[in-house]
């Protein structure tokens, strides 16, 4: 679990170094990790019904430091967080992973909300994200 102290440091670093307002609406990416791609795919609908947007399922298969493939599910949601509310969100997502027998909730990243037009629809995406795991 990501400590509240680590989150405080992250928020302070972003306030100091990033050209965007961490205290406003941001695009938060959340990651889950498991050895089974199918188990992660099964989470997508449950997360979408909670307002998360599916981004990708990817693997670390090309990582020379790994002996077996691990899969990651990436979802995102535009939210306003404080250190305390993000800590609560991390606890919630960690419990969600355990409830669904997923290896782990692996952390989050954050970036400004940037909208792009894609095939006639506006899609939020993160740019310059800071990653905490």
Q: What is the pLDDT of residue 133?
A: 44
Q: Which residues pair with 32 in a beta bridge?
A: 73, 105
- pLDDT of residue 124 exceeding 80, the answer is no
What does pTM read for this prediction?
Answer: 0.83
Write the pLDDT tens digit of every residue in 33-63.
999 999 999 999 999 999 999 999 999 766 6
């Amino acid at each position: 679990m990501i400590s509240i102290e680590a989150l405080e440091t992250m928020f302070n670093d972003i306030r100091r170094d990033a050209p965007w307002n961490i205290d406003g609406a941001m695009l938060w990416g959340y990651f889950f990790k498991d050895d089974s791609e199918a188990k992660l795919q099964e989470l997508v609908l449950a997360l979408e019904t909670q307002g998360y947007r599916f981004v990708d399922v990817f693997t670390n298969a090309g990582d020379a430091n790994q002996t077996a493939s691990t899969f990651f599910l990436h979802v995102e949601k535009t939210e306003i967080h404080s250190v305390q509310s993000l800590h609560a969100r991390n606890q919630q997502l960690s419990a969600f992973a355990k409830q669904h027998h997923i290896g782990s909730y692996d952390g989050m990243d954050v970036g400004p909300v940037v909208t792009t037009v894609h095939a006639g629809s506006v899609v939020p995406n993160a740019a310059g994200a800071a990653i905490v795991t």
